[in-house]
Amino acid sequence: MLQNDIFLRAAKNQSKDRTPVWLMRQAGRILPEYRKVREQAGDFKTLVTTPELACEVTIQPVDILGVDAAIIFSDILVIPEAMGLIYEMEERKGPVFPKVIQNEADIKNLHIAEAGDLQYVLDAITLTKKALNNRVPLIGFAGAPWTIFSYMIEGGGSKTFSKAKKMLYTHPALAHLLLDKITESTINYLKGQVKAGADLLQIFDSWAGILSPEQYREFSLKYIRKICEAIPDVPKTVFAKGAFFARQEMNQLPCQVIGLDWNMEIAESKVMLFSKVLQGNLDPCALYGSLEDVRRETRNMLDQFGHHPHIANLGHGLYPDTEVDKVKCFIDTVKEYSVTLR
């Protein structure tokens, strides 16, 4: 059905042609076309909750950049909101929760989200699938329970995440209660995304890197596993930023693809994650170099992945001040150079 299914085939380790390529945060930020729609929407949350607009910016990078997959334009924080914690997106500062989780009563008051609570995302997916018209597959996504948990306790970003981590040490049973509720909500949500048309799901564990290896096992990996097990129907990618210490265990996760950040040595990761397709991992700052620099760094990355099943991406989301022609150069280099490696 799909005209370009190279991304999906690679995710299932069935590709023998070139390396597919897409970029985390490809929808938004760097594209003038995005900023126009964003302005029209007025604010970030209107953009996220208006299916027509979310659909439009989701498709932009497919048209403009030529990526091999679209990822639905949304935010991982729609889940805490669907559970009862409203977030606000502050310009330049990022997300802020005016009310945070502080005790058992707060956790008990939280609602377990149903897919229907996030109908606007499901509608955006349905609309986007139709508009994509089978050109490329569509990625759905959610935050990992530990990352969502951190936001719900901290109320925003943090340098140390000491409030969220404090709960793990002082009230581990409460922490598990909250993580369970988030996990159940996320499973309901992701099942809805698959029903609406998502071809692959990616789980983002943005704050994986602040936990010790033992705590990561107990408070994060366990819940990621639950999510993967609950949704066998589509391929799944797990991207746990900073969880270098968990790579050997992630090789056992019931998912197909593991995302690497740019800190993770490729050669070492190929050994530790031998049964997984690997996604990543160019340093987003490498796109600040000249076109020649970008070409060299991209080729160097492809050489290092070699014959390991690979989906090209950055090791983190695109930074807002990246120039569009550098992004195009990255994409084109992957497409051209990876053919020569087969």
The residues that touch a second copy, with contacts defined as CB under 8 A, are 157, 159-160, 162, 165-166, 168-170, 209, 211-213, 215, 242, 244-245, 262-265, 268, 283-286, 288-290, 293, 315-316, 319, 321
Cα–Cα distance, 146 to 256 (Å, whole number): 21
User: Least distance from C-beta 82 to a second copy, angstroms?
Assistant: 26
Closer residue to a second copy, CB minimum distance, 7 or 244: 244
Name the active-site residue from 34, 87, 151, 223.
151
Name the active-site residue from 68, 75, 205, 261.
75
Closer residue to a second copy, CB minimum distance, 24 or 115: 24
User: Is 75 an annotated catalytic residue?
Assistant: yes
Quickly tell me which residue has 């740019």 as its tokens. 262
Cα–Cα distance, 41 to 241 (Å, whole number): 31
The identity of residue 209, as a single letter, is: G
User: Is 38 an annotated catalytic residue?
Assistant: yes
Beta carbons within 8 Å of 241's beta carbon, 6+ residues apart: 204, 205, 206, 207, 208, 209, 261, 316
Closer residue to a second copy, CB minimum distance, 180 or 265: 265
Cα–Cα distance, 96 to 90 (Å, whole number): 7
User: Least distance from C-beta 321 to a second copy, angstroms?
Assistant: 7
User: Least distance from C-beta 257 to a second copy, angstroms?
Assistant: 21
Closer residue to a second copy, CB minimum distance, 263 or 275: 263
Beta carbons within 8 Å of 271's beta carbon, 6+ residues apart: none
87 touches 157 (CB < 8 A): no
User: Is 34 an annotated catalytic residue?
Assistant: no
User: Least distance from C-beta 166 to a second copy, angstroms?
Assistant: 4
User: Least distance from C-beta 326 to a second copy, angstroms?
Assistant: 10
290: nearest Cα among 317, 326, 247: 326
Closer residue to a second copy, CB minimum distance, 51 or 95: 95
255: nearest Cα among 147, 153, 141: 141
Name the active-site residue from 5, 18, 34, 38.
38
Cα–Cα distance, 118 to 123 (Å, whole number): 9
77: nearest Cα among 68, 88, 65: 88
Q: Residues with catalytic annotation?
A: 25, 29, 38, 75, 151
